[in-house]
Chains A and B, each alone.
Chain A
Amino acid sequence: MQKFLKLNIFVLLINLVIFYFPAHSEEPKIFIETITKEASKILSSDISKFEKMSGLKVIAKENVDIKGIGLYTLGSHRKNLTDSKKKEYLDLFNKYFLKSFSSRLAEYSDPKINVLSQKKLNEKYTIVSSILLATDKRPEVKIDWRVYTKNKEKPLIRDLIIEGLSLARTQKEEFNSVITSSDNGIEGLFSNLKNFIKN
């Protein structure tokens, strides 16, 4: 009887290791479904635009790799930055991103997103495909989410690809243009970011 009990405990432990721990790693598709539901709930609720933006900022802070996107969008320019300048940039980018992201989304009232499928590109990235359903004002929009899956327990969004157009890449090219066309180089970008945050 005691032997049987021991065996049972052993089997139970094995089951815990096999089934419980992987259950904590989140499937990218479910991860995106959860986020879009949360965002949709905020956007369809009867609150002010400011309150909606605050809610969306909380979601973004938790689920978007803002620091990673910030460094990516600097491209080769980030290699020329000192540590203190990099810190200053990341702080500015964080504020810029949250304002820009939440104000872009806050315009959509009650968006309906159907998450369709996921495609694993490699260990680090999975693309989750979804559709923003058409309304009277706009046609259906295909949205792909580039999810960074290196830490399987904490996936993070690194890019939104809308109808095949990458927002991270657009941002990177925009920042590069600001830096190269400014007489002050990277400082020109910093002052543009400060102006955007202030206004």
Chain B
Amino acid sequence: MKKLILTLVFGFFFCLNSTASENEETTKDCFEKLNKGIFAFNQGLDKAIFKPLAKGYRILPSPIRTGVGNSLNNLSNLTTIPNNILQGEIKLAGQNTLRFVINTTIGILGIFDPASSMGLEEYIKEDYGQTLGSWGAGPGCYLILPIFGPTTSRDLVGTVVSLAGGDTWYNVTVRNDTQYFSDFDYYFSRVGSGIDFRAKNLESLDNLEENSLDFYASVKSLYLQDRKQKVLNSDVIINTQDDSDWDDLETK
């Protein structure tokens, strides 16, 4: 616990010193050449492994895929709930705890989502990167990790916090030697999440790649917009989009 708090606090100051706040537009691509190299490697890996797996996963009947998606979402509550608390969203933390309990029991290990049918608010994932952002830490540098893809230095610190004890699912599977779960369960769920995400975005990612002049730049822009929106928990792209570039355009 002490290690976890230290990592989080150190991460916060590291990110706070490294860059400007979320509201500022630019996120530096500090290692652009390296990032582009890893991006190309990941694309190769995607074409060889992840895309075929996602296509295979798509063949499964829709109720099975929905069940897998629900189950993975349910597990992510174990990271979301502590982050709700760290962001001061105590009521939401309570609701998500209730959601987790209902879906794990009545919903049979999260395969079904009775909590939503009972009227609990829409579930929104939170992570330690978002918490650091909500505390005022800027995104830092844009990074591409092998296999895992786009991130920022702040989000990378968030991942370290998860692995240092912030993710209960990781703790009960990999970190601690419990008799109920094994390392395999954790890695299986992580790979499952990746394939589920890829399967849901097969056409849209292909479409984006086919119609982009610079696919790397498009992915970077979309990732950073998405993270910004998640950190601020609002429709910021709509409400704060900089109109200055539009202002002097009088076209029709």
Q: Which partner residue on chain A sits nearest B245 by CB separation?
A: A72
Any chain A CB within 8 A of the CB of B89? no
Q: Which partner residue on chain B sits nearest A158 by CB separation?
A: B246
Stretch of A3-11, A22-30, A39-47, A63-71 with 4 or more beta carbons under 8 angstroms from chain B: A63-71
- Chain A residues in 8 Å Cβ range of B62: 136
Q: Which of B213, B241, B243 neighbours the largest number of chain A CB atoms within 10 Å of its CB? A: B213
A103, A156, A193: the one within 8 Å of B213 (CB): A193
Any chain A CB within 8 A of the CB of B226? yes
A68, B58: Cβ atoms under 8 Å?
A: no
The residues in B between 221 and 245 inclusive whose CB is less than 8 angstroms from any CB of A are 221-222, 225-226, 229, 235-239, 241, 243, 245
With contact pairs A100-B211, A103-B210, A169-B241 given, residues A139 and B221 touching in the complex (Cβ less than 8 Å): no
Give bound CA distance, A74 to B44, whole Å.
31
Does more than half of chain B's interface fall in helix, strand or loop, or is it mixed? helix
Q: Mark B188-219, 1 if CB is under 8 A from A, else 0.
A: 00000000000011111001001111101110
Give bound CA distance, A67 to B225, whole Å.
24
The residues in A between 164 and 180 inclusive whose CB is less than 8 angstroms from any CB of B are 164-166, 169-170, 172-178
Count, chain A residues at interface, CB 8 A: 43
Q: Which of A154, A164, A176, A189 neighbours the largest number of chain B CB atoms within 10 Å of its CB? A: A164
Number of A-B contacts defined by CB within 8 Å: 96
Q: Which of B210, B214, B226 neighbours the largest number of chain A CB atoms within 10 Å of its CB? A: B214
With contact pairs A161-B238, A164-B237, A170-B218 given, residues A178 and B225 touching in the complex (Cβ less than 8 Å): no
A138, B200: Cβ atoms under 8 Å?
A: yes
Give bound CA distance, A5 to B213, whole Å.
67
Q: Mark B40-80, 1 if CB is under 8 A from A, else 0.
A: 00000000000000000010001000000000000000000
Given contacts A104-B211, A178-B217, 15 further A-B contacts (CB under 8 A): A67-B251, A68-B251, A75-B245, A104-B207, A107-B203, A124-B243, A158-B246, A161-B237, A164-B229, A164-B236, A173-B218, A173-B221, A174-B218, A177-B214, A177-B217
Q: CB within 8 Å of A: which residues of B?
A: 58, 62, 200-204, 207, 210-214, 216-218, 220-222, 225-226, 229, 235-239, 241, 243, 245-246, 249, 251-252
